[in-house]
Amino acid sequence: MRKQKLGNSDLEITKIGFGAWAIGGPGYEFGWGKQVDNDSIKAIHKALEMGVNWIDTAAVYGLGHSESVVAEALKQWNGEKPFIFTKCSLIWDEKRNVIKSHDPVSLKRECENSLKRLNVDTIDLYQVHWPPEKDNSQIDDAWKALTELKEEGKVRWIGVSNFNVEQMERTQKISPVTSLQPPYSLLRRKIEHEVLPFCKQNNIGVIVYSPMASGMLTGAMTKERAENLPGDDWRKGSKEFVEPRLSKNLLLVEKLKHVGKKYDSAPGEVAIAWTLKNSAVTGAIVGARNAKQVEGVFRASELELKDEDVKEIENMLK
């Protein structure tokens, strides 16, 4: 797989990384429904076999479960170990309610817990999962805490997720930001105007999440499937999965299928390749819940769309 240096780090990462959100399973408000851990492990192994060299997870995914599954998968893996990226700032209580916390003591406690669950001595990239709701001043202490974790050798590089330009400028004044993890897909293009240019100008790597719009653009989603998503799947009722957007999104998938035929590629691969076409994007986080799904979309790393096909796809969005 093609590789690119991530921001100011020494990490040469593949253009696609394995996203471990869905394998966290159910039982909390951001869950994806029932998941079999053995399927998750096989999915991770298949991705690594295909050349992927990084896994992105978070403490909150499955309330610690995703990190534990990643650790078990790597325990069973005999090949070269991938880079491990995880995130902090979302914690949960005894009732499994998720809340944000940017308190330095809490962040450092999260780091220790993640190190234990992942069974590693150092986290390759540690990211603030979400910024504060209103008070950006909380970012200062949070970023100082991550900077200290880096100085202590518990994490190698530090980044942010879901931050805007103003928030990244704030962190940059304390210490450099290695990467940003924002949502980016054909259905979510807001970051193109300010965020991506800022990152490119400031040598901040960008690893985008949900390039297939949380499964909407894979080619496997149908009206019936969207309507019958289980109640413990966070996508049920999400605006992209209900009318009036659902029908429009499914028409876009048909366009992706048409373009994909030219490259012998599935719609999801085309959707991922479209995000990688942007020169500011270092890599895309691609989730999979079983080995078959990995085989179906992870080849997108090598897919380079022609400008005429990009234009054809984007015309569908107007």
Report CA 227 to chain centroid distance, whole Å.
25
The whole-angstrom separation of Cα 110 and Cα 68 is 14
Nearest to 196 by CA among 214, 186, 212, 183: 183
Query: Going by C-beta distance under 8 Å and a sequence separation of 6 or more, which residues neighbour residue 64?
Result: 113, 117
At residue 10, what are phi and psi to the nearest 5 degrees?
Answer: -105, 15
CA terminus-to-terminus distance, the chain: 33
Work out the angle at residue 316's Cα, subtended by the Cα atoms of residues 270 and 310, and round it to the nearest 5 degrees.
Answer: 40
| Longest distance between any two alpha carbons in the chain, whole Å | 53
- C-alpha distances (whole Å) from 156 to each of 38, 114, 153, 217, 219 are 30, 14, 6, 34, 37
The CA-based angle 208-270-226, given to 5 degrees, is 80
Task: Give catalytic status of residue 263 as yes or no.
Answer: no
Q: HEC string of 181-195?
A: ECECECCECHHHCCH
Compute CA 42 distance to the chain's CA centroid, rounded to the nearest angstrom.
19
Q: The tokens of 200 are what?
A: 């490119």
CA distance 265 to 299: 8
Paired strand residues for 180: 160, 206
Cα(255)–Cα(258) distance, rounded to whole angstroms? 5
The active-site residue out of 61, 184, 209, 263 is 61
Which residues on adjacent β-strands are paired with residue 100?
90
Q: Which amino acid is at 11?
A: L
Q: Which residues are catalytic?
A: 61
